[in-house]
Amino acid sequence: MIEDQENELGAMWRASTPVDVTLIADRVRGLNRLHRRINQTSFVVSVVIALLIGLAELLGELPTGGVLFAAFTALIIAPLLHHRWAKKRLTAQWSSEPRAMLVFAADRARAGLRLARGLYAGVPIGIIVGYSGGAALGRLNGVTADQLPLWALLATALLVAITSVAGVRMARRRSEDIKHFEARIRSMDYAV
């Protein structure tokens, strides 16, 4: 009897399609293509800029002796490698065990929370410590720093305000994520 009812429910369940997946798949394919083109264009633009910097250094137009070229190249390659590594890791997690996926997601949220704390607390503290340290070091060497111009003060205040607001918002979201993932892990553990 129960089996009959379950078969009936199963048939009813399988007969429904809550959203039109084919349309969404077309959109996903379009977005993938667009994403790939944007990535390729950004990469080409970055390579051209790196080559121009290298050429300028080679011709002596830039007196940086190859340092700028090396720094710029590293700034392109390092995030690219990190992005590829992170994407590969995430992809591997998607096809792994659901609980491990949640633990992985919670760890990522914790890393995000640390970054957010760095933004709203680390940046202002870093600026204050850096400025005070520099001034103290100058006084020790008998150099008196000039009064900072108003525009520099305003720019610093704006930077601190932006990073603090972004950091606080990000921290709130990541904290919610951590709670959410932990609740889901508990829910899975409870049912096992």
Partner 1 sequence: MARDDDTFKVWVADHGGLIARIASTYERRPALVEELVQDVLVAIWRAQPSFRGQSSVRTFVARIAHNVCVSHVRRADTVSLGPLDETIPDHGTGPELDVDARLKRDKLLAAIHALPVALRQTMSLHLEGFSGAEIGEALSVTENNVGVRLARARATLQQSFGGSRS
Which residues contribute to the site for partner 1 (CB under 8 A)?
2, 5-6, 9-10, 12-22, 24-25, 27-29, 31-32, 87, 91-102, 105, 176, 180-181, 184, 187-188, 190-192
Least CB distance to partner 1 at residue 117 (A): 21
Please, what is the minimum distance in Å from the beta carbon of residue 86 to partner 1? 12
Name the residue nearer to partner 1 (CB basis): 20 or 146. 20
Determine the Cα–Cα distance for residues 145 and 138; give it in Å rounded to an integer.
Answer: 7
Nearer to partner 1, 99 or 114 (CB): 99
> Cβ 35 to partner 1, closest distance in Å?
10
Give CA–CA dist 12/104, Å, rounded.
35
CB of 185 to partner 1, least distance (A): 9
Q: Give the nearer residue to partner 1 in terms of CB position, either 151 or 190.
A: 190
First-to-last alpha carbon distance for the chain, in angstroms, is 27
Nearer to partner 1, 153 or 188 (CB): 188
d(CA 35, CA 48): 20
Q: Are 37 and 31 in contact (CB under 8 A)?
A: no
Contacts 24+ apart (CB under 8 A), 76-83: 76/43, 76/46, 76/47, 76/50, 80/43
